[in-house]
A and B are shown apart, each in its own frame.
Chain A
């Protein structure tokens, strides 16, 4: 499993009742590895268990919140899952287990963030692609830097394999489809107008601080009670169902056959390296 020195850090400020989860892998655009996702989840566990923390801020060091997951692990994660290395191609159960355990299942990053018992606030800066977009979506509140851009470029390479229920309930159906099919990247103003973020700021630190202080002024009992009401609504709105469906479709899509002439990201990566393939596959975001 690769980390390349990347890490997810946790800082606690008990006096102000705030925690910061900080993604630190600047030289790779804060692209998340599985090891980092697990660190992230461990920090959420710590925050949930800490009675003096009411609010968690999600941020990245450097220019980007997170510009995706680490493509070098796209295949490796299936091979390394239970039942993944029995034959030449990973079993379907290995693919399901990997997608569930790391991303969409009860202890996967996104579902775990969505089910944090404290208020979560994302600071969306620079490229918020794939992982960055879903961290924004799964947080309770989000503030975007003026330079933020939201997209899932990987969907154009393989098809749509992420949650759609939460996305549709947040930004609307046709805009979700724009993100799905048109290779669109939303700038900060568009994301704000669509309801993906609570606001746009040239100085998001200040705005996040102000929101965090407001949330931290609400009683602990109230915050946790409200979060459980949110969980009940998420279940009722089909978000848990959508996460399960995304896992199944994601696993199915890992069996994709390309038509002649269709762009194959993994093949491109094998031939020209990760950086070149990423650059090519993201070049024409709208």
Chain B
């Protein structure tokens, strides 16, 4: 028997062009998200392809460093939230536990998911972040990489918490260890994004650059690391992965996840999916931004500066 490849015929066919892969002569591999019209939102087949490409990079002795980046205006807006990906019945979406487990755990951030393929990579991993780095892109890619290089004005955070509810992700141990307890919870409970500069101050980001210089700055950092003796990198990555295992930082808090598929809006709260059925997902996002107390993802201020 062979496992099913989840996705629609269209999303499966598109995935190869939506996630590009190349390796330069310096030993730096690039996984490039290429779905700019959707801010590089990740479909299920795109996530599967990311995991396969990480495995390919891991198996390639010539690759020393693995860079994640995105084409277009944003690094990545997170997982595609309105997706048919081969559920048994279309109306199910994720609303059975079997389907929820497969979607959330196996395809996202459980031990078998793509985010843990990133966090367990044998290579030094770098996320090159500009524009939006939201939701899954924040906690399943950026926070799973060893280094993040960010545009100073990037928008990093759990923006989806506003309209879908926080998904338990920002409670994860690794995010608390990266940002500190307060900032981790701030991203979940206010849905307020961090700029690249703020994320640098908190310790998530290794270096900030103006967005136009981001590719060259990241490239230089990646090549400098790749130029270190192969044995040194090999040892250091193994050393870090072991310690991360000891600290239990590689596995996220799964507790909230399955429940999060069943969140209900109370009568006085906005029901995102009901609104989306009426005016489309874009219209529902606009309606959300207009709500009282909304954190404007474009705002540039610290939460309490």
Contacts and interface: CB of A to CB of B under 8 A. Distances in A.
B182 interface: yes
Contacts of A148: none
Given A198-B304, A221-B165, A211 B180 contact: no
Contacts of B293: 213-217
Interface centre among B169, B256, B257, B263 (most CB of A within 10 A): B256
Nearest to B158: A226
Contacts of B192: 214
Nearest to B164: A222
- Chain B, interface size category, equals 35 or more
Contact of B166 (A142, A198, A207, A222): A222
Nearest to B174: A233
B55 interface: no
Nearest to B260: A225
Interface residues of A, number: 42
A68 interface: no
A217 B294 contact: yes
B269 A229 contact: no
Contact of A141 (B172, B185, B202, B266): B185
A200 B190 CA distance: 17
Contacts of A210: 304
A140 B161 contact: no
Interface string B167-178: 111111100110
A193 B200 CA distance: 12
Interface in A133-186: 140-143, 166, 169-172
A215 B191 CA distance: 8
Interface string B245-281: 0001000010111011001111001100000000000
23 contacts: A140-B182, A140-B186, A141-B186, A169-B180, A172-B180, A195-B179, A195-B182, A197-B304, A198-B186, A210-B304, A214-B189, A214-B191, A217-B291, A219-B264, A222-B161, A222-B260, A225-B166, A229-B168, A232-B253, A233-B173, A233-B253, A237-B173, A237-B176
Interface of A: 119, 140-143, 166, 169-172, 193, 195-201, 204, 207, 210-211, 213-223, 225-226, 228-230, 232-233, 236-237
